[in-house]
Amino acid sequence: MADTAGRPNQRRRTRKDLLDAAARLMKQGRRPTLEEVAEAALVSRATAYRYFPSIEALMVETTLDVAAPNADDVFKGAPGDPAGRVEKLDAAFESMMLTNEAGLRMMLAQSLQRSLTEEGGQLPKRQNRRTPLIEAALAPYKKEFSPAAFQTLSRALALIIGTEALVVFKDVLQVSDAEARKVRRWAIRAMVEAARK
Amino acid sequence: MADTAGRPNQRRRTRKDLLDAAARLMKQGRRPTLEEVAEAALVSRATAYRYFPSIEALMVETTLDVAAPNADDVFKGAPGDPAGRVEKLDAAFESMMLTNEAGLRMMLAQSLQRSLTEEGGQLPKRQNRRTPLIEAALAPYKKEFSPAAFQTLSRALALIIGTEALVVFKDVLQVSDAEARKVRRWAIRAMVEAARK
DNA sequence: ATTGCAATGAGACAAAAGTCTCATTAGAGG
DNA sequence: CCTCTAATGAGACTTTTGTCTCATTGCAAT
């Protein structure tokens, strides 16, 4: 069904109702089934399945809608040094991730799942939000780094800032959010400094 | 049922058959159901459920048995500086991970899945192999770091060395294994240096 | 307002996942 | 070798998850 054909308004409304209901339930820390979301959205189970093949798919979309940091306001009033700007970005990511943790874990799990099902060694196409933002953070100081150092630093920072690091801190190291933040900031400073030479 | 009561041999054999079958299937990158594992192990579905409540529980046990790097031979002939020893550890992890990539991705996906199902905000108990090894790598030079720096460094290195970093490199950044190694080594040097002061 | 067809709801159906019972089989001790 | 009973297999049963059909509803163009 095309975007304009049929009754696009009704479709968008139904879809939005489902996403809203899912967001509401997830915000309560619940892990709803597709049936529960349908009920909360006041649509039938069959209709819910028409829009999303599984609760996972729905939760992924829910998270994507909620969580998209914007470069412009992330760096608003950012300090005048590269590490400070990266820390600002880290803070934005952290707050986004903590409020959307369930959805992000779901997305990561989904992506890993897919990487195992996918035929022909296809990698799961996973959108990369962090690299553009990391580069934006470093951009004003780009000339302080050699091109190679800039690229290496960007990539290394991608290990520190993102869902995967959150998972390491919480599930593997089992440290508090505050401790995790401290470690990230220390690592950011260490790496930005090292790249500067 | 106690360890010694009944027929312990038969039980151990059945259990081992299930774990072996699961390992075999996982090594093929498959994501077996408990029924498939039972079939591969030549036991009935009911028996498989008697040993493991779910495919997840079985898979967790399975990967525990897989490749656990041994501290003693990892650092055999390691260079005489902390960063060099950490790099040695990184190399060991890398080779282990590349040969067990499917299984490790599976484990990670599993663990993430469980973290969403788990009641009462329970974190999935995930074994932490890397921290002891990282600390072992740094141990001979422990006195060169302040206690706080040592702990922070250990934790930061846990972000660089492990399955999650592999996933970032492959799925998010989509860089080659060689490039990934280069970035990791650079990050290791940068952080070890920074912690030294 | 009328009308056509897209979207929906209700519920039957199917497949997957897990539980339970009971008869059979085969270890381990005598 | 026998016996006892723990472990197993077979399969019925339940729940959960997802699909499909078809009648009904209600947008939106006329």
Q: Is A162 an interface residue toward B (CB < 8 Å)?
A: yes
pLDDT in tens, A84-119: 999 999 999 999 999 888 888 888 887 887 666 554
Mean pLDDT of B61-70: 72
| Vertex B124 angle, CA B23 and A109, to 5° | 65
Q: Which of B30, B126, B174 has the CB atom closest to A171's CB atom? A: B126
Collapsing DSSP to helix, strand or coil, A95 comes out as: helix
Say how far apart CA A113 and CA A117 lie, in whole Å.
7
DSSP annotation string for A46-67 = HHHHHH-SSHHHHHHHHHHHH-
Residues 6+ apart with CB under 8 A from A193: A83, B190, B194
pLDDT at A123: 56
More confident residue, A117 or A21: A21
Q: Which stretch of A165-169, B17-21, B74-78 has the lowest confidence by average pLDDT?
A: B74-78
Residues from chain A contacting residue B172 (CB–CB below 8 Å): 126, 128, 130-131, 158, 162
Q: Which positions on strand D lie below 7 Å from a protein C-beta?
A: 5-11, 16-21, 26-28
Mean pLDDT of A175-186: 98
> Are B59 and B31 spatial neighbours (Cβ–Cβ below 8 Å)?
no
The dihedral region occupied by A42, where left means phi > 0, alpha psi between -120 and 50, and beta the remainder, is: left
> Are A102 and A59 spatial neighbours (Cβ–Cβ below 8 Å)?
yes
Mean pLDDT of B10-15: 95
More confident residue, B33 or A152: A152
> Are B159 and A171 spatial neighbours (Cβ–Cβ below 8 Å)?
no
> Are B153 and A190 spatial neighbours (Cβ–Cβ below 8 Å)?
no
> Are B102 and B29 spatial neighbours (Cβ–Cβ below 8 Å)?
yes
pLDDT at B95: 92
- Per-residue confidence at A145, pLDDT binned at 50, 70, 90? very high
Total-model pTM:
0.84
Say how far apart CA B63 and CA A132 lie, in whole Å.
35
Collapsing DSSP to helix, strand or coil, B68 comes out as: coil
pLDDT at B66: 65
The overall average pLDDT reported for chain B is: 88
pLDDT in tens, A159-174: 999 999 999 999 999 9
Mean pLDDT of B27-36: 84
pLDDT at A122: 52
Say how far apart CA B128 and CA B125 lie, in whole Å.
9
> Are A133 and A69 spatial neighbours (Cβ–Cβ below 8 Å)?
yes
pLDDT at A124: 56
Mean pLDDT of A123-151: 90
How far from A49 is each of A34, A65, B9, B24, B42, CA to CA, in Å?
8, 19, 48, 35, 37
pLDDT in tens, B128-173: 989 999 999 999 999 999 999 999 999 999 999 999 999 999 999 9
Q: Which positions on strand C lie below 7 Å from a protein C-beta?
A: 5-12, 16-21, 26-28
Is the pLDDT at A4 greater than 80, yes or no? no
Radius of gyration of the CA atoms of chain A, in A: 20
Say how far apart CA A181 and CA A159 lie, in whole Å.
14
Please choose, from the candidates A151, A110, A170, A86, the residue with its C-alpha nearest in 3D space to the C-alpha of residue B167.
A110
pLDDT at A2: 57
Give the percent of chain B with pLDDT over 70: 90
Flag if B123 and A170 touch (Cβ within 8 Å).
yes
